[in-house]
Amino acid sequence: MLERREEERHVVPEIYRKYILLKVRKASGEFGPMELLDFSPKGIRMKSSYGIPVDSAIECLISAPKSITKEIPFVGKIKYCIQDELGGDFLMGAEIIETSDRPGFEIFSEVHNFIKERMGEIF
């Protein structure tokens, strides 16, 4: 498959997914956690026990509580949603269509890179 992404995708290794939190607003209005697999300035890939319909707009909060206490808000649009295996989790990709805190999102990317560089020392 031809890669169409223009920007580097930051993979979030399983060993430190607990240090980077992604929350998505549910239909109930509350924010619920999702597992962040990777991200770039233009998109995210995530995993959840439930699926979200393609083309749905989602409100998200991303944070690294041990590094940045601030939650960075953004809005995404679901581009795909597939079930990993029969009865398993859902893998979803979303395009980031709006963020009210672009500098915060860029700082988050830098914190991620710092964690990745120090991973051997920290873990």
Kindly state the tokens that stand for 85.
């295996």
Residue 104 lies in a domain: yes
Any domain includes 78:
yes
Quick check: is 79 in a domain?
Answer: yes
- First CA to last CA distance, the chain: 34
| Cβ atoms of 59 and 99 closer than 8 Å | no
pTM of the model: 0.78
Distance CA 73, CA 116 (A): 22
- 79 Rama sector, left if φ>0, alpha if ψ -120 to 50, beta otherwise: alpha
Q: What pLDDT was estimated at residue 18?
A: 79
Tell me whether residue 70 is in a domain: yes
Q: What is the pLDDT of residue 86?
A: 78
- CATH number of the domain enclosing 34: 2.40.10.220
Look at the chain and report how many structural domains it folds into.
1
> What are the pLDDT digits (tens) for 25-50?
998 999 999 999 988 878 899 999 99
Identify the residue whose tokens are 């914190």: 111
Return d(Cα 18, Cα 54) in angstroms, integer: 27
- Domain limits at 21? 10-122
Question: Is residue 64 pLDDT above 70, yes or no?
Answer: yes
pLDDT, one tens digit per residue, over 78-123 is 999 999 887 789 999 999 998 877 666 666 666 656 655 655 544 4
Task: Report whether 37 contacts 20 (CB < 8 A).
Answer: no
- Segment 4-15 shows an average pLDDT of 72
Q: What tokens were used for 98?
A: 């709006």
